[in-house]
Amino acid sequence: MGKPTGFLEYERETAKAEEPKSRIRHFDEFHEHLPMEKQRLQGARCMDCGVPFCQSGMTLAGMTSGCPLHNLVPEWNELVYTGNWQEAYNRLHKTNNFPEFTSRVCPALCEKACTCSLDGEAVSTRENEYAIIENAYQKGYAAARPPKVRTGKKVAVVGSGPSGLAAADQLNRRGHLVTVFERSDRVGGLLMYGIPNMKLEKHIIERKVKVMEEEGITFVTGVDVGKDKKAKDLLQEFDRVVLACGSSNPRDLSAPGRDAKGIYFAVDFLTRNTKSLLDSDLADKKYVDVKGKNVVIVGGGDTGNDCVGTCMRHGCKSVTQIEMMPKAPDERAENNPWPQWPKVCKTDYGQEEAIAVFGKDPRVYETTVKEFVKDKEGSLRAVKTVKVGFVKEEKSGRMVIKEIAGSEKELPCEVLIIAAGFLGSEKYVTDAFQVEVDGRSNVRTDADGFLTSAERVFTAGDMHTGQSLVVKAIRQGRECAREVDLSLMGYTNLVVQ
């Protein structure tokens, strides 16, 4: 423990966010982080617990508690306090390939399991992580370190999201020759186009990709494996193939009027906005224009919030975020004790911005869309919603959703965004490699394994598990790389933790 009394002496202090009405004028990151000396004191708050739940990554009550990467949190918190920034980076990088991403977009499962939060506020672990990695780039600790020995084995990674990048990074460290194929025009997958710029500025991804290139990884963009490049050709060119294409099928809504113009999937909405921003600073007008329009977003998760924040920056007339589930409690319920993930209501940045501008929370709970209302030209002009409740079926005992009679309501709406999650991998890819899938279209493997039903073909990330967190995708990529290395060499020294 860096300072045994640190958690008693210092209050939790985090980066200050730019005011909502100011930050909606741009698409840049909007937090002002602490100076290094103040950040050191935050490291002193870590108690170096005998059982550090922060790094456990356990599943409790069906939810993950602590870091899935098993980051050595108490170790590098102490090193932050003592000012040993280089060793702090070494310990962090031992378990996490991309702290520059997770310190920005991870929901900080480590902090929710922090012992300090039992009777106070958690250690600001995610911001300590941010300070470590940004200092590492400034001081040169995070510079390229190409492997000294090459094995001559060639591995293709299909998909450049967090799991694909993690697998590529690990396999390259081992000395294999790695080529990453990305169907989009830029590397990053979900990180590049699924997360808006104000949460993760894209030069941060490009900075890391440049390091990976200097370390010997080849990136090929604009190639859609399964269409532009045949699976059999890839298997002829490479010794192993890793499929890390994500969970790419957006969940749709089925209601009358679904063919109305003005309905978009969140992934398309966010992609078009970010691509236009990067290509032309929005000058090409290829994004979905919501200026002066009433927007309804279906989905109450992080992606729905990202859509709220994007609409606020484009000057929407109004925004409503529809959520089918009831509002979570503001504080932990008795049946949701620490160190379980806290099932409490969180007001995120996009919702904060809507509240600041429109004077009310954009979220509407226990509600779903019953009908899309079109005008004479076939464009969306309104949505009809209905309240829903959960009741138990007498025969099965299952909880099912029922509409509440007389609760219908019509909302003005010219743009509707579906942010209801994703359902499995894309069929043309799985068909091309002839890999088996499960009932949810996720690629099937043995339990705790990554080898698919096709010889020499592995899988990792959301394509394997279904939609999940960036930090879990990184973990999957690391574990998959270890199994690939073992199959190539007969042994492996890749560390997963």
pLDDT in tens, 264-290: 999 999 999 999 999 999 999 999 999
Total number of domains constituting the chain: 3
Which of 115, 139, 163 is a domain's end point? 139
Q: Which two tokens stand for residue 62?
A: 């069906």
Question: Does pLDDT of 194 surpass 80?
Answer: yes
With tokens 């109305």, the residue in question is 260
pLDDT computed for residue 228 by the predictor: 96
Report the pLDDT averaged over residues 240-263.
96
CA–CA dist 357, 225 (Å, integer)? 44
Average pLDDT over residues 455-464: 97
Residue 434 and residue 413 share a domain: no
273 and 410 part of one domain: yes
Q: How far apart are CA 2 and CA 78, in angstroms?
A: 5
Rounded to 10 degrees, what is the CA torsion of 143, 14, 54, 211? Answer: -10
Shared domain for 172 and 210, answered yes or no, is yes
Specify whether 324 is located in the same domain as 388. yes
Q: Where are the beta strands (DSSP E) in 351-443?
A: 363-364, 367-374, 380-392, 399-403, 409-412, 415-418
The verdict on 331 and 392 lying in the same domain is yes
CATH number of the domain enclosing 160: 3.50.50.60
- How far apart (Å, rounded) are the C-alpha atoms in residues 76 and 67? 14
Taken in order 50, 55, 59, 60, the sign of the CA dihedral is positive
CATH number at residue 34: 1.10.1060.10
Instruction: Give yes or no for a contact between 25 and 356, defined as CB atoms under 8 angstroms apart.
Output: no
Domain ends where: 395, 418, 441? 418
Contact 18, 131 (CB under 8 A): no
- What's the average model confidence in pLDDT over 466-482? 97
Quick one: pLDDT at residue 175?
Answer: 98
pLDDT, residue 400, reads: 87
Q: Do both 382 and 444 map to the same domain?
A: no
What's the pLDDT at 82? 96
> What's the rounded Cα separation, in Å, for the pair 347 and 192?
24
What gap in Å lies between CA 365 and CA 372, rounded to an integer?
A: 19
| Within-domain flag for 149 | no
- 377 and 314 share one domain: yes
Q: Confirm whether 497 is domain-assigned.
A: no
Q: Are residues 126 and 28 in the same domain?
A: yes
Helical H runs in 407-449? 427-433
| Inside any domain, residue 146 | no
In a domain, 390, yes or no: yes
Looking at the fold, whether 341 and 387 belong to one and the same domain comes out as yes
In a domain, 378, yes or no: yes
pLDDT exceeds 80 at position 497: no
Which residues of 52-176 form beta strands (DSSP E)? 58-60, 63-65, 154-158
In a domain, residue 17? The reply is yes
Answer yes or no: are the C-beta atoms of 199 and 306 closer than 8 Å: yes
pLDDT of residue 224: 97
One domain for residues 399 and 429: no
Q: Is the per-residue pLDDT at 162 higher than 80?
A: yes
Report the greatest alpha carbon distance in the chain. 71
Strands (E), 163-262: 177-182, 218-221, 240-243
Average pLDDT over residues 25-45: 97
**Percent of the chain, pLDDT > 70?**
100
Please check the confidence at residue 252 and state whether its pLDDT lies above 90.
yes
Main-chain dihedrals φ then ψ at residue 130, nearest 5 degrees? -60, -45
DSSP 410-475: EEE-SEEEE---B-S--HHHHHHHT--B-TTSPBP-STT--B-SSTTEEE-THHHH-S--HHHHHH
Q: Is residue 412 domain-resident? A: yes
3-state helix, strand, coil split of the chain in percent (to 5) is 35, 20, 45
Token pair in block for residue 217: 């990884």
To the nearest whole number, what is the mean pLDDT of the chain?
A: 96
The pLDDT value recorded for residue 449 is 96
Same domain, 123 and 21: yes
Is the confidence at residue 1, as pLDDT, over 80? Answer: no
267 domain residue, yes or no:
yes
The pLDDT score that the predictor gives to residue 119 is 86
- How much is the pLDDT for 199? 98
**Same-domain status, 280 and 381:** yes
What's the mean pLDDT in 407-434?
Answer: 96
DSSP 8-state secondary structure symbol assigned to residue 336: S
Q: Is 177 helix (H, G, I), strand (E, B) or coil?
A: strand
- For residues 61-98, b (16+ Cβ closer than 10 Å) or e, as one string? eeebbbbbbbbbbbbbbbbbbeeebeebbebbbbbbbb
Of 86, 111, 139, the residue that ends a domain is 139
Q: 């050191």: which residue's tokens?
A: 40
The predicted-structure confidence for 353-394, as pLDDT tens digits, reads as follows 999 999 999 999 999 999 999 999 999 999 999 999 988 887
Percent of the chain residues topping a pLDDT of 90: 94
Q: What is the pLDDT of residues 288-325, one digit of tens each?
A: 999 999 999 999 999 999 999 999 999 999 999 999 99
Q: Which helix (H) or strand (E) holds 144?
A: none
Whole-angstrom distance, CA of residue 288 vs CA of residue 309: 14
Question: pLDDT for 55-75, tens place per residue?
Answer: 999 999 999 999 999 999 999
The boundaries of the domain holding residue 62 are 6-139
